[in-house]
Structure 1
Amino acid sequence: MLTATPRAHSAHRTLSASGPSISNPNPFARINHTGAVMQKSFQKFRDPQERERKWFASLLWRSFPEATSEAQLADLVAEALNTAHRPVNPRTVRNWLRSENAPGLHYVVAVLALAGAETVFELFDPEQTA
C-alpha cells in the first residue's frame, strides 16, 4: 500500500511502499511510479528574470554565429558593444551568458538591433519560435 505522509511546514514529502523512502525537496514536483522526480513545465523557470536572462544569452549566441566558444563569443560581443562612454568587458558578457547578471536595457536594444527585429517577437510568444 502506498501512503503519503505530508509534514507540516516542510517542503519534503516522504512516500513509502514497503521500501526505501523517497524525499522530494520540491513541493511542486511529483514522484512517478519509478521513483523519478517529475517537474511541471511551468516550474522550469520559476523566476521571470531567469527566463529573460536565458533568452538574452541565446540571443547573443544567435547574433554571433561565428563564435565557437564562450570565450570567443564574450570577446566578440564586448568588442561590438564597447563604447567610450560604456565600456564592456568580456567578463561581463560571460556573466550574461551564464545568467549571473542581467544586462542593461541599452545593451539589450543594441543586441536586438544586431540580431534582427524578428527576435523581439520571442519576448511575447517564446513557444511560437521554439
Structure 2
Amino acid sequence: MSALVEILSFGYLHGEPPVADLTLDLRHHFRDPHVSPELRYMTAADEPVRTAVLNTAGIAALVEATATAVAAFAAGPSAGVVTVADGCAGGRHRAPTFAGALAERLRADGFRVAVTHRDMHRPVVQR
C-alpha cells in the first residue's frame, strides 16, 4: 500500500499554522490574487484563481520540489503519514490552489492523498 499524504492549506491571518512535517509559506514569494479586484472574492474553487496562481513563476517548480521532499519523508524507516501544510495570507487563493496541484502531482506518483482547506471558506480578510 502506498503512503498517505495529508495536505492542509491555511491562511496565516486566521491562526497558527497546523502541525506538519513540512510547512510552506507562500505569502512572500508569490503574487497574491487578492490584489486583483476581479479575483479577490473568488477562491481556489474558481478557475480564474487557479489559473492565476498556477501561472505564477516558481509555483510549478515548488510543486515538484515539494513532491520530491514528500517522497523523501515517505521513504523513511518509520515514515507513517506525511503531513504538508501550505499557507498564504487568507487561505483562499494561493494555498488551496497549491495544495490541489501538489495532490494531483503526488497521486500521479501513486501516493494516497487527503486534502483539507482549513480557511478557504472564511470571508475575505480586509487589508
> If the TM-score is normalised by the length of the shorter chain, which range does it land in?
under 0.3
Between 1 and 2, higher relative CO (CA 8 Å, sep ≥ 6) is seen in 2
Q: TM-score, normalised by structure 2?
A: 0.26
Which of the pair is proportionally richer in strand? 2
The structure having more radius of gyration, on CA atoms, is 1
Which of the pair is proportionally richer in helix? 1
Q: TM-score, normalised by structure 1?
A: 0.26
